[in-house]
Amino acid sequence: MTVSSAHYLSTRGQAPRADFAEALLRGMALDGGLYMPEAWPTLSAQATREGRSYKAIGMDVLPAFIGDALPAGALARALDTLVAGFDHPAVTPLVQLEDGLFLLELFHGPTAAFKDLAMQLVASLADEALQASGERLTLLTATSGDTGAAAVRAFAGKDRIRLVVLHPLDRVSAVQRRQMTTVQADNVLNLAVRGDFDDCQQLVKGLLAEEALREHGRLSSVNSINWARLAGQIPYYVSAAAQLGEPATFVVPTGNFGDAFAGVATRHMGLETHGFIAAVNQNDALARAINNGVYSRRPAVESGSVSMDVQAPSNFERLVFEASGRDAERTRGVFETFARDGAVAFEPDLLASLRAEVSAVSIDETETRAEIAHAHQRWGQVVCPHTAVALAAARRHDRASGPVIALSTAHASKFGGFVSQMLGFEPEPAPVIQALGDRPERLTIIDKAPDAALSAVRAFTA
C-alpha cells in the first residue's frame, strides 16, 4: 500500500488540494466546500477477517487517508487512546436481536454516544499535527448535546488546543450538560447561550469570521463537516462486517449524514454490503430529497431523537459530489441554488445515482415511541430514541436479501427521560454516566448576542 500521497479536494472545486493534516485542522475548504479524498483507497482483504481487533482494523483502514501528513506512530497512539477509553473489548460489539437482525453498539465510549469514536481520534491526531507544526488551534463548536460532550472529553487537557463549546441553555439533557461542564480542564470553555441551537450555530459562524481570534493561532470547528471525523467512523463498519462474516444492509440513524456517509465511503473502498439506509426522524429533508427528488428546507421540529433534528444535513453535499461523478461544478450549482432558493430539484440522472448510493426513510415520533416499547418487550433491549428510529426502519426492510444491522448510536440512559415515558422506568445509567456523580460544573451563561460571545471567547483565549 502506498501511503505517501493522500490528498483532499473540495466538493466545490475552487480550493487548493490539501493533505490530511490541513483538512483536519482547517475543517471546511476555503471555497466553502467539503473535503473529499482525491481517490478512495481499497480495503485490504485482511481488514474484514474474523477476530481482528478494532486497533488492527483501524491500522488497516486509516493510513491510506493520512498518508505521510502526520508523525510516524501518531495513528497507532491515537487508536490506543481510543480503545483504552471504551469499556467493551470489541469497542463496537455486534449484538444479535433475532434471525437476520443485529444492533451495532457504538455507545461504549467516554460519553456513551457514537461521536466518541471519531472525536477521540480527531483530538489525538490534531494534537500530533500541531506538535509537529508548532501551531496552536482554537476550536469552536455549537452543540445540541452529544457533539459537545464528546469534544470536551476528547480535547480536555490537549495543551495546543483550546475548545469553546456553545450549547443552548436548559435545552440539552442534564446528563449531556454535566458531561460537558464537569470536566475540569483549563483549555475548555462551556458557553450556555440564552437561545436555541440555531442561535448557537449563528454565533459560531460569526466567531469563525473574527480575524482577531486568529491572533492566537488557527481557528476551526469540529462538527461533522470535518473529513477526519468521517474517516474515524469508517473502521466500525469494517468491524461490523468482520464480526458478522457476511454482507449486510446497514441502517443508520441520521442527522447531518456524517455517520451514514462514512458507511457509503466503505462501499467505495470495496466493502461488500447490501446497501445503506439513512433513517431520519420527522425532520425528513434527506428522505424527501432521495425519495421525491427535491431537496428543500423546512424549519426543524423537536423530537425525542434530538441529535437528528437537522433539516439541512451538511454531509449531503459529499453524497451529491460522489453521485454526480465528482462533478464539482454541478455540486456547487446544487448547493448554491439550495442556499438561494431554499429548494433544488435533481435531474433524473443525478437522482438515480443518489438512490444507488443510499436509500432513506423517515420514521415519525409515534413509530419511534412504539419501537422503544417493542424493543423492550420483544428482546429485553432498552434503546435510545435515535436507535429506535433505525430499528423501526430496519424492521420495515425485507430481510430476504440478507441480514440487517441497525446502528445503535447512544446509550439509552443519555435520554432516560424520554425512554422512561414508554417503559415506565429510567434506564440503568451507563457506567460513564454513573461516574459523573455530582462533580462541580463549570459554565458561563451568555446572551445570544455576537458581542457577548466574542468577549467571552476573547477573555478565554487571551
Number of residues that bind ligand PLP (CB under 6 A): 17
Taking CB under 6 A as the binding criterion, the range among 31-39, 60-68, 206-214, 255-263 that sits at the site for ligand PLP is: 255-263
Among 119, 308, 358, 382, binds ligand PLP (CB under 6 A): 308
**Position 269: which residue type?**
M
Q: How far apart are the C-alpha atoms of 380 and 238, rounded to whole Å?
A: 27
Nearest alpha carbon to residue 357 among 231, 264, 253: 264
Among 105, 116, 127, 146, binds ligand PLP (CB under 6 A): 146
CB of 245 to ligand PLP, least distance (A): 26
Taking CB under 6 A as the criterion, which residues in 191-210 touch ligand PLP?
Answer: none
Nearest alpha carbon to residue 315 among 395, 253, 238, 223: 223
**Which grid cell sits at 439?**
462533580
Q: Which is nearer to ligand PLP, 109 or 258 (CB)?
A: 258
**Which grid cell sits at 242?**
468482520
Encoded one letter per residue, x for contact with ligand PLP by CB under 6 A and - for no contact, window 429-448 reads: --------------------
Other beta carbons within 10 Å of 223: 22
Q: What's CA 341's distance to the chain center, in Å?
A: 27
Q: Which is nearer to ligand PLP, 109 or 255 (CB)?
A: 255
254 binds ligand PLP (CB under 6 A): yes
> Are the C-beta atoms of 311 and 285 separated by less than 8 Å?
yes
Q: How far apart are the C-alpha atoms of 173 and 144, rounded to whole Å?
A: 9
413 binds ligand PLP (CB under 6 A): no
Encoded one letter per residue, x for contact with ligand PLP by CB under 6 A and - for no contact, window 338-377 reads: ----------------------------------------
Among 256, 266, 303, 413, binds ligand PLP (CB under 6 A): 256
> Are the C-beta atoms of 365 and 385 separated by less than 8 Å?
no
CB of 107 to ligand PLP, least distance (A): 8
- The set of residues, in sequence order, having a beta carbon less than 8 Å from that of 140 and lying 6+ positions away, is 164, 166, 204, 207, 208, 219, 220, 221, 457
410 binds ligand PLP (CB under 6 A): yes
CB of 133 to ligand PLP, least distance (A): 28
Nearest alpha carbon to residue 433 among 181, 184, 185, 175: 175
Q: How far apart are the C-alpha atoms of 202 and 210, rounded to whole Å?
A: 13
Q: Which is nearer to ligand PLP, 259 or 317 (CB)?
A: 259
Q: Which residue has the cell 460513564?
A: 432
CB of 161 to ligand PLP, least distance (A): 21
Per-residue three-class SS string for 208-277:
HCCHHHHHHCEEEECCCCCHHHHHCCHHHHHHHHHHHCCCCEEEEECCCCHHHHHHHHHHHCCCCCCEEE
Taking CB under 6 A as the criterion, which residues in 171-190 touch ligand PLP?
Answer: none
Taking CB under 6 A as the binding criterion, the range among 23-31, 56-64, 249-257, 293-301 that sits at the site for ligand PLP is: 249-257
- The set of residues, in sequence order, having a beta carbon less than 8 Å from that of 213 and lying 6+ positions away, is 138, 207, 219, 454, 457, 458, 461
DSSP 414: G
Taking CB under 6 A as the criterion, which residues in 69-128 touch ligand PLP?
Answer: 113, 115
Taking CB under 6 A as the binding criterion, the range among 50-58, 68-76, 247-255, 348-356 that sits at the site for ligand PLP is: 247-255
CB of 45 to ligand PLP, least distance (A): 28
CB of 146 to ligand PLP, least distance (A): 3
DSSP 428: P
Q: How far apart are the C-alpha atoms of 417 and 389, rounded to whole Å?
A: 17
Among 182, 202, 307, 362, binds ligand PLP (CB under 6 A): 307
Taking CB under 6 A as the binding criterion, the range among 17-25, 89-97, 253-261, 319-327 that sits at the site for ligand PLP is: 253-261
Encoded one letter per residue, x for contact with ligand PLP by CB under 6 A and - for no contact, window 122-141 reads: --------------------
CB of 255 to ligand PLP, least distance (A): 3
386 binds ligand PLP (CB under 6 A): yes
Q: Which is nearer to ligand PLP, 87 or 159 (CB)?
A: 87
Binding-site ranges for ligand PLP (CB under 6 A): 113, 115, 146, 224, 253-260, 307-308, 386, 409-410
